[in-house]
Amino acid sequence: MGEVYLADDTLLRRLVAIKVLTGDYTQNEERLHRFEREAYAASSLNHPNIVTIYEIGSEAGFHFIATEFVDGESLRQHIRSARMELRSVVDAAIQVASALAAAHQAGIVHRDIKPENIMVRPDGYVKVLDFGLAKLAIELETAADTEASTQMLIKTEPGRVMGTVNYMSPEQARGRDVDARSDIFSLGVVLYEMLAGPRPFAGDTKSDVLAAVLMVKPEPLVKSFRKFPQS
């Protein structure tokens, strides 16, 4: 839904990443709102393992989000390179879990946890990116009691599947409402892939993968646990 550019912040003399919503998407009100929700969701969180949002705005009809530039590579690249030690796998999972715990405490569900949305710096520090599919919780004051509040989740269209099929929870695959447990499930899929190599749910088509998520029990890790480099 967007293009990402590496840019130079001439005022503060730092590199930044700028995500620009492509022209076709700016004509779609839902996608535009989703783009804005991404910025709001991430900027409302203050956590070392969540990418920092610097600015959101528009210029000459282009909508953009300026974020910190994470100098590293995606977790997907780490997995493919097979350079991660076992302790690095556990450390990365702990950092992502910490980021998600902070988001969940703020009422935010990421809904698209996957290796492509996790960046790893050379020093091993992990950053969670892309809250574009986040479902935000809004606190509304009740009319009867101004001190009492309740959370109303922003819902997607009933039955609509959102996310990345290989990492979806069963609730996502069915197009149902999701909560923090869905992110935990997706993190479990990522951890399985880091430990075993192959993904726990696979198929020739997206429909096959969705069916696997709903019906297939993954192979136990003891059967596919891959060898890791020694420390």
Identify the active-site residue in 8, 112, 179, 204. 112
pLDDT lower than 50: segments of the chain = 136-160
Task: Say what the pLDDT of residue 226 is.
Answer: 62
Q: Which residues of 118-150 are buried (b: 16+ CB within 10 A; e: fewer)?
A: bbbeeeeebbbbbbbbbbbbeeeeeeeeeeeee
- Answer yes or no: do 114 and 197 share one domain: yes
Is 6 within 8 Å of 17 (Cβ atoms)?
yes
Task: Say what the pLDDT of residue 24 is.
Answer: 65
Say which CATH number the domain at 36 has.
Answer: 3.30.200.20
Say which CATH number the domain at 145 has.
Answer: 1.10.510.10
Is 150 within 8 Å of 140 (Cβ atoms)?
yes
Reply yes or no on whether 123 is catalytic: no
* Planar angle of CA 51, 109, 192, nearest 5 degrees: 80
- Answer yes or no: do 116 and 152 share one domain: yes
- Answer yes or no: do 110 and 199 share one domain: yes
Task: Say what the pLDDT of residue 117 is.
Answer: 94
Residue 113 is encoded by which pair of tokens?
Answer: 């946890």
Residue 30 is encoded by which pair of tokens?
Answer: 């839902």
Cα–Cα distance for residue pair 131/9, rounded to 1 Å: 23
- Answer yes or no: do 45 and 151 share one domain: no
Task: Say what the pLDDT of residue 113 is.
Answer: 95
List 152's β-bridge partners, or say none.
138
Task: Say what the pLDDT of residue 48 is.
Answer: 94
230 domain residue, yes or no: no
134 domain residue, yes or no: yes
Number of domains in the chain: 2
Residue 1 is encoded by which pair of tokens?
Answer: 């839904």
Task: Say what the pLDDT of residue 138 is.
Answer: 34
> Considering 19, 53, 68, which residue would you say is the last residue of a domain?
68
User: Angle, to 10 degrees, between the axis of helix 86-105 and the axis of helix 180-196?
Assistant: 170
- Answer yes or no: do 30 and 78 share one domain: no
231 domain residue, yes or no: no
User: Computed from CA positions of residues 157, 163, 166, 170, in that sequence, does the dihedral angle turn out positive or negative?
Assistant: negative
> Considering 39, 68, 97, which residue would you say is the last residue of a domain?
68
- For 6, the domain range is 2-68
- Answer yes or no: do 32 and 121 share one domain: no
Cα–Cα distance for residue pair 115/169, rounded to 1 Å: 15
> Considering 44, 68, 92, which residue would you say is the last residue of a domain?
68
Query: Which amino acid does the sequence have at 216?
Result: V
As a whole number, the mean pLDDT across the chain is 80
- Answer yes or no: do 98 and 206 share one domain: yes
- Answer yes or no: do 82 and 45 share one domain: no
181 domain residue, yes or no: yes
Predicted model pTM = 0.80
- Answer yes or no: do 62 and 88 share one domain: no
190 domain residue, yes or no: yes
